A and B are shown apart, each in its own frame.
Chain A
Amino acid sequence: MRRFLRPGHDPVRERLKRDLFQFNKTVEHGFPHQPSALGYSPFLRLMAIGTRSGAIKLYGAPGVEFMGLHEENNTVMQIHFIPDQCQLVTLLDDNSLHLWSLKQHSGASELREEHRFTLKGPPGSPPSATQITAVLPHSSREVLYLGTESGNIFVVELPSFRVLEDRTITSEAVLQRVPEAHCNRRSCELVEALREHPKNPDHILIGYSRGLIVLWDLQNNKVTHHFLGSQQLENLYWQRDGSKFISCHYDGSHTQWPVSSDNRQPEPLETLVPYGPFPCKAISKIYWQTTKNGLPYIIFQGGMPRASYGDRHSISVVRGSQQTAFDFTSRVIDFFIIFSSEPTAEFDDPSAMVVLAEEELVVIDLKTAGWPAVHPPYLASLHCSAITCSHHVSNIPLKLWERIISAGSKQNIHYSNMPWPIDGGTNIAPDPPQRDLLLTGHEDGTVRFWDASGVCLHLLYKLSTVRVFLTDGDPNDNMNALGEDEWPPLRKVGTFDPYSDDPRLGIQKIYLCKYSGYLTVAGTAGQVLVMELNDEDAEHVVDYAEADLLQDQEGYRWKGHEKLKTRDGPVRFEAGFQPFVLVQCQPPAVVTSLALHSEWKLVAFGTSHGFGLFDHQQKRLVFVKCTLHPSDQLALEGPLSRVKSLKKSLRQSFRRIRRSRVSSRKRRGGSGNASEVQEANAKFDQDALQEMELAPVQRKIEARSAEDSFTGFVRTLYFADTFLRDSSRHCPSLWAGTNGGTVYTFCLRVPPAERRMDEPVRAEQAKEIQLMHRAPVVGILVLDGRGIPLPEPLEVAHDLSKSPDMQGSHQLLVVSEEQFKVFTLPKVSSKLKLKLTALEGCRVRKVTVANFGSCKTDDYSENDLAVLTNLGDIQIISLPFLKLQIRYPCIRKEDVSGIASCVFTKYGQGFYLISPSEFERFSLSTKWLVEPRCVVDMPEVTSNNHVHKSGMENAARKSRSLGDYGEDERKSGRLMEHALLNDEKVLKEIQSTLEGGR
């Protein structure tokens, strides 16, 4: 029973483990899934985005990020920053208000929820009485005005959320002086908008949904002006000097109103339906921005002609005769304008428009002619086409990095040069330790290169493989180019485009050699492209080779998709990675594994039928090997037959249900009247339902056999220079592992460099290993004489790795989904194993060698295996002794796509998709940790009260700094901070009682 023995606890090793491993989810990259609200603080220059899952994220200058999560996980409906404060209020769809604040703690700011509050009406009142529709944080920073569905406006004190009942603005009070014609209860239903007067904080503008707008005097509690709109109101906006305001309406019109002391009930100055005369959609939000040189900007969302453009998600910017309707790729959630927030400035002078659409963030430069878009440094839409695979390359050499950036900058010329306008906060995180690239393959045949070094995942360069192929979508490229006098003047903005022309273009595997700049990508229709980085545009013919993986297997028919058609003749490629060879697998099944050896100039690829080796120097296919099991029909026929069998099984199960129903009716058939039959039927249906519910989920227990489907599916390919025949001579080799637990080894003969073009590369099969447990082989690795994984190709040549030990005997590590096994080489015999599945019931999904450095000493580091299991756990397993070091729960086991998307880095970090558009970044290492660390400075204080308060906070900060953050800063910090929060509450209580007594 030795297998059940657990290794004893070695205290030295345990201590070392603490210095090496630590699990943290550090930052979320990409665009928040299902955003639902947007807020902006001109004072802090921070933007806040709320989501339907209750998350709230703050963004400022690149690297300045905060995240909070409402406990309730309810949709965030509105976000309002408190003027001149590090605080914001969120409204959720359960009608609760939450006060968040940014507090400094051990040198960095943190976002924390301070209070929550739900407005309660008098007993017996309907819920709509307190359903909040509009929120106005008053510039005094002391109160919040809450407009409700009932038309009443409640006033709550900040930050205590105490309702000031005597200051409630009831609809009755508002109606007192409204003319008879408009004077009914209904005209005051639902507060649509609340706007504070820009010059006089005692006046607020109240807009009701029926069209009535009043200017309310807070000091005297009375209406000063009435504005009788006839159209259903959507929103309001003041002109900067407070002499006019603009309202927008449900019918697609906007109206300007004058505010003067002589007319208490003014008529509108101007009413406009910008996209009339035919019925238009509502304008839901409007901005009026003045400029120094006269012409104001009118910016509004919606208002498109209902019949012909009602489906567009547009925001129109109008300035004199200039007018553009920005046409977004997805629904507009909200938008704001960045303008001069100096209170003394005479004009708004807007600089940028920030639009949060459902799938991406778009920023328009309003200062530059033509209103170009600004390239956002964060919140990238990872899913602009669905991500199909990802590949991470650590520690990119500077030269390659610069060449990729330069290739990318040529693609970005249509973007504005404006510096990023949302620049609040200061990033105090140390510079990223190295340059890392994350490559994502997409469904539309593109590969995106992301700078994954730091907190901001930033797009460097986009590579498209589409040009190599002939696709149907090509001729219509110019469809969106509109004529000059087109009306409405729509302009498409944004990059989100989830519709792929041809699913066969999808990228499945990527391999980049960071030393040579060779890149190979492989796709859904069996295409393998080998590319080289070229700094100039070029036009050349892409060489074509076909690899028949079925070889002499006769009588099989591929029922899957056809291969992609290629373009004849030379193709023009822009600067960047340019393909020079296309290897087409036959049958054109999806490429399931890929490996590139840039030193030997070889590329290996595998599908569900077999694998092949291609010499990209001589552009010659070296060999192919069919891995199919003769009985594996499914793999042979392609994906379509599977669909058919599913259909068939569905049909059968329906038939079974029907048959059983019929037979049971027959049984009951004797009894007479209809109602009885009906009853019986009803009862039967119920029984059947119950039976279905009771029918347990069953799992068949059966040993895997050679006949299982897709055993030939090639899961992993690996190049190694090692000992295959005897322990005196090593040679290049190619290793392939299949779904059926087979490992094939080929001995390669690569001619020396000077005869590389003259002599062919030769390969001969050296070994074949069949794992008896037949689980899919997901990783193959050769360890050198010191038990260290062999270096990557060219790593030694670039002096970045010690040359491997070729004296001692090498070992082979085969990782299947169920076991880790070490074999000796060249004679293959089993040496060590770890039976993961037998022990824990989990299976290996992803495995990588990662280097872990100690956080205590610089000179210690070790290689371990980082493993992600199908349960979403991450385990670290030591090399070469295969001892489980540590285990962390990381991904929910139900999150299959998250687990499938996980990619590890070489230094113990990783990424996985938490939504189609977001990568969660995690770290297993104590040494390599990329997480946001930033400071947002406290606003300058004006009133006495605030001085007092901030003084207290300073005191708190001081006491905090007394704390000892030496050893474990993170943990003790969190504890300390909790204690202080309690202290602060106590302090506030004392303060409020003192104030009350006064």
Chain B
Amino acid sequence: MNRPHRGAAGSRGLGTMEVKSKFGAEFRRFSLERSKPGKFEEFYGLLQHVHKIPNVDVLVGYTDIHGDLLPINNDDNYHKAVSTANPLLRIFIQRKEDADYSAFGTDTMTRKKNVLSNVLRPDNHKKKPHIVISMPQDFRPVSSIIDVDILPETHRRVRLYKYGTDKPLGFYIRDGSSVRVTPHGLEKVPGIFISRLVPGGLAQSTGLLAVNDEVLEVNGIEVSGKSLDQVTDMMIANSRNLIITVRPANQRNNVVRNSRTSGSSSQSTESSLPSSTPNILANFLQGEEESDEEDIIIEDSGEPQQIPKAAPTSESLESLTQIELLHESTQNGFLPSSEMNLDHSAGSISMEYEEQDPDHKSLEEDGTIITL
């Protein structure tokens, strides 16, 4: 990147950017309109064209400013790559069959450029074996702690992502009583508590909910004054995107909240993560808003005997999309869904989504960070 490059002088204006693409041993150079990078699919087609590999499935990667090799596989990380390329965008193309996934990630370019980050995170080098990061599309968040900045430290707001997984939510609630501080002193008031976690269920696997945690809110609605059955119905109605605010029975694991700025600075040390993830997360958040609306509609073409299991027609985009395919189809549409393996190992998720998202006014963290 410190190399002077001729393209800058010869560029047809400030808006263009040079691209250097490597496939196997071959390099290709071309330029792109920085302000109008187009869609990822067009870019992908362009790469196939310039390398003359029209029918080869490939993985596309680029090196970011820190020298890390990061994937490009959707519009978001493509745009990120274009916008951060300075001044040259280096592209690495691998055949999908012999793709080395482990090549992606931190320090993959083995350039000791970012000394500061290495100083700040010395343990990063001691990690043996190196953390393997899968492709982002292989992930789906299963849970997150949200709104840490606006909640009292004694409370925890947990989001459980039920969609797309076959795991049961896996918990039970019960009536109970809790003690509240009121103007008239301590008062015993009825409350709703988590009574049981099903082993292997989503709730248990996140580690964010525990037996005897008091449930305070369900998707932003306070449960006080509501009966056990009402709260049950509310949770089931929200089960595809359940946000529970609890007062954990064990108060020792609470997130110790710093000021917002310090929070983000501590997070920035982890910015070696693929910079595309915030966008993915944002998409998830948006997608989630819509997701529970995604009723499946099957419209028949009109043959009376036709079995109504026909593939949905592509006309009415939103409504015809099956929920399971939503994210794949919009973000990495070129990937056949058969390649998805839903890996929910908590560790890798924490790597993937521990990221402060500047666009979202909330701090996103994963539960595994704050366990003892």
Chain A residues in the interface with B (C-beta under 8 A): 1, 3-4, 696-704, 725, 762-773, 775, 818-819, 821, 827-830, 833, 835, 837-843, 870-871, 893
Contact = CB atoms under 8 A, between A and B. Distances in A.
B293 A833 contact: yes
Contacts of A839: 221, 234
B217 to A, nearest CB: 11
B295 A772 contact: yes
Nearest to A762: B304
A837 B218 CA distance: 11
A769 B295 CA distance: 7
Contacts of A762: 304
Interface string B160-202: 0010000011111111100000000000000000011000000
A838 B228 CA distance: 14
B233 A843 contact: yes
Contacts of B237: 773, 775, 818-819, 835, 837-838
Contact of B228 (A1, A3, A699): A699
A703 B169 contact: yes
A830 B174 contact: no
Contacts, number: 141
Contacts of A769: 295-298
A838 B231 CA distance: 9
20 contacts: A1-B220, A3-B219, A4-B221, A701-B203, A702-B169, A703-B168, A703-B169, A764-B303, A764-B304, A766-B299, A768-B297, A819-B237, A828-B297, A828-B299, A833-B293, A837-B233, A837-B236, A838-B234, A841-B221, A841-B233
A1 B220 CA distance: 9
B297 A699 contact: no
A68 B342 CA distance: 67
A702 B230 contact: no
Interface in B292-317: 292-300, 302-304, 306, 308, 315-316
B236 A703 contact: yes
Contacts of B228: 697, 699
A838 B219 contact: yes
Contacts of B168: 702-703
Given A765-B308, A769-B296, A829 B195 contact: no
Contacts of A843: 233
A3 B218 CA distance: 13
B239 A704 contact: yes
Contacts of B172: 698-701
A698 B296 contact: no
A896 to B, nearest CB: 12
A623 to B, nearest CB: 9
Given A772-B294, A819-B237, 11 more contacts: A697-B174, A700-B232, A702-B236, A768-B297, A769-B295, A770-B296, A770-B297, A772-B291, A828-B299, A830-B318, A837-B233
Contacts of A772: 240, 291-296, 323
B235 A701 contact: yes
Nearest to A767: B299
B240 A842 contact: no
Contacts of A830: 293, 295, 318-319
A856 B327 CA distance: 53
Contacts of B162: 703
Contacts of A819: 237
Contacts of A827: 315-316
A453 B292 CA distance: 44
B226 interface: yes
A696 B308 contact: no
B174 A698 contact: yes
B236 to A, nearest CB: 6
Given A703-B169, A828-B316, A838-B219, A773 B233 contact: no
B308 A842 contact: no
Contacts of B292: 772-773
A771 B295 contact: yes
Nearest to B174: A696
B229 interface: yes
Contact of A770 (B221, B233, B295, B306): B295
A837 B234 contact: yes
A4 B174 contact: no
B238 interface: yes
A703 B172 CA distance: 12
Q: Can you list the 8 inter-chain pairs with the closest CB atoms, starting with the nearest?
A: A841-B230, A703-B239, A837-B237, A696-B174, A764-B304, A699-B232, A770-B296, A841-B234
A788 to B, nearest CB: 24
B170 A767 contact: no
A423 B332 CA distance: 82
A821 B238 CA distance: 16
A835 B172 CA distance: 23
A773 B240 contact: yes
Contacts of A698: 172-174, 195-196
B299 A842 contact: no
Contacts of A833: 293
Q: Which of A698, A763, A835, A838 has the most CB of B within 10 A?
A: A838
B27 to A, nearest CB: 47
A493 to B, nearest CB: 46
B4 to A, nearest CB: 50
A7 to B, nearest CB: 16
Centre residue among B176, B196, B300, B316 by max chain A CB count within 10 A: B300
Interface string B128-167: 0000000000000000000000000000000000100000
